[in-house]
Structure 1
């Protein structure tokens, strides 16, 4: 048993400090310590790059370099293991050895298999740092395959009635799921979704999609767009011509979400784990301590303690978690 304290805190990302310094999803890539980047969503990518070495997937590296314009070196660290997080292409969980204990950082994760994206599998660990985006009871999603059929049928019915269909989802993650779901309908995309999908499409994992242009839109069509595109002049033009719109998000479980988004339909489909899946994942990892982060962190920590009997607490900015073993 190590007598050294393991310190975990929110600072430059999630800091795990002991014999070494590990930084998960840091805002600044520094010149000392080990920097692990979980995936390519903007709220997890660095805002500043001073150092040159990162631990991440090839897809995430490509996105970091595209965003920051700094060349980086992807390294392997003997004390860090990477596991598929199931959230989006290239998303990874990290397990680091510190003070003789295993610390698993999930980043954003999804444990459901979704249209070619395999769900995250539990990893035995001593300390679990888990996301809590949907960490409140009530956020339980319908099965992915079922929602895929519902969304496909909605788009197909819309087109059969002579209307085009726009489906709004974040460019990385759910947009690629939608392109797979709508494959037989030759989906179009806006520029952001096109760029994101082009970055990960390959011979091994191809996507059937085309960039929207007026020349391709003579007949009713289905287009996958970013959520903010719905406020564009192009989207206004589509609506005047009878387009039907749908928002695709786990938040569609919230009453009033469809009206808030000003769309015709809202589908509760997510690339995150839901509440029950977060609990099941936590239990299967068999941690001694759980630290919740990013979302309904306090709610999830209370539920883990009451339902699973595992010590749990949220990570709070400027508050250290000193873990003695």
Structure 2
């Protein structure tokens, strides 16, 4: 029997195999980091970890000082009591799911993931089956069903073009790592100058090195930003980003844009339900495909809803309540 435990307030452990997932403590010899969002990086920026090359590069840009053993997707690492393989998670660049094979059975830890994958990532792949499936369920209600990538790209580019044609500056509100670069990738076909918030700008180099087209972009400059396509976070906007630009229109890019309440809670001109997580129906379908003995649900406000649907499929599940930060 495989023991799967919460590691305090941050990360998950397989104690009998000395493995930690997105873990910040000292009780796991082998720590695997799924991706470079803050709530998955180690709190101790000097610990040694295993991760993909692009996750390592992005973590370094975000203050990580430790050593990383870089693993390629599909490369199997032989540990004393297990074998570990990373699969592309489709969430952001470098994001990986961690597949552990042991004599007691197999475990797939997803971190955050998206299927179909973000076009600004390495894609999505997973094993054919697994015994224990540790999955996030950020969008855990049936109201969350995403449009296809082409339709979302049309929404993003259409908003930018129409806004510019009417003499306004388009501003896309998106998380600095992952979502911002996906939006820029969508906008690259317009060949219009883009300015991105400085915190996101420093991460773009890693995307370009990976061959992700981000268009004609530069770091945000308050004096020259008017008339450019701007990409920033909601918090930066509230702190004065482009406050000198009087004629601007705002597009909020997030899975949370699908909520009806967002229309009244947010003062924006356009809601675009663009998520870097999978939607509710994709989650249920993947559980059906993998046929796990048990699903361990994390990062969700509605675990009971997911469990209800899994119960109807005859799939056992439980909720692992982990600390999270909003990155969508």
Query: So what's the TM-score if we normalise by structure 1?
Result: 0.87
Q: What root-mean-square deviation, in Å, do the aligned CA atoms of Structure 1 and Structure 2 show?
A: 2.0
Contact 1:287 1:310 in 2 (8 A): yes
Equivalent of 1:24 in 21, 25, 40: 21
Cα distance, 1:250–1:32 mapped onto 2, change above 3 Å: closer
Greater Cα shift, 70-79 or 226-235: 70-79
Partner of 1:263 in structure 2?
268
Pick the aligned partner of 1:152 from 152, 157, 171. Answer: 157
Count of residues paired in the alignment: 306
> 1:258–1:264: 8 Å Cα contact kept in structure 2?
no
Asked if 1:110 is matched to 2:114, the reply is yes
TM-score (norm 2): 0.87
Q: Partners of 1:168 and 1:199 in 2: how far apart? A: 21
Inter-CA distance 32–310: structure 2 relative to 1 (3 Å threshold): closer
Which residue among 125, 128, 131 is the counterpart of 1:121?
125
Does residue 57 of structure 1 match 2:52?
yes
Report Cα offsets for 1:136-169 as digits up to 9, x if no partner.
2211111121011012101100000000010000
- What corresponds to 1:182 in structure 2? 187
The structure with the largest helix share of the pair is 1
SS at match of 1:6: coil
Structure 1 residues 151-300: aligned runs within 5 Å: 151-183=156-188, 184=190, 185-202=192-209, 204-208=211-215, 209-214=217-222, 216-217=224-225, 220-238=227-245, 241-295=246-300, 296-300=302-306
Structure 1 residue aligned with 2:307: 301
What are structure 1's unaligned runs of at least 5 residues? 318-325
> Secondary structure of 1:201's match?
helix
What is the distance in 1 between the residues matched to 2:262 and 2:12?
31
1:10–1:271 CA distance, 2 compared to 1 (3 A): same
Aligned to 2:325: none
Long gaps (5+) in structure 2 = 72-76, 323-328
Q: 2:138 aligns with which of 122, 133, 141?
A: 133
* Separation in 2, partners of 1:280, 1:43: 26
The verdict on how the C-alpha distance between 1:258 and 1:246 changes in structure 2, with shifts beyond 3 A counting, is farther
The 3 A distance-change label for structure 1 pair 31 and 51 is farther
Separation (CA, whole Å) in 1 of partners of 2:178 and 2:47: 28
**Higher RCO structure (Cα 8 Å, ≥6 apart):** 1
Structure 1 residue 266: Cα displacement: 1.1
Q: Which aligned runs of 4 or more in structure 1 are off by greater than 6 angstroms?
A: none
The correspondence of residues 33-112 of structure 1 with structure 2, limited to 5 A, is 33-49=29-45, 51-52=47-48, 54-74=49-69, 77-78=77-78, 79-112=83-116
Distance 1:252 1:313, change over 3 A: same
SS in 1 for 2:241: helix
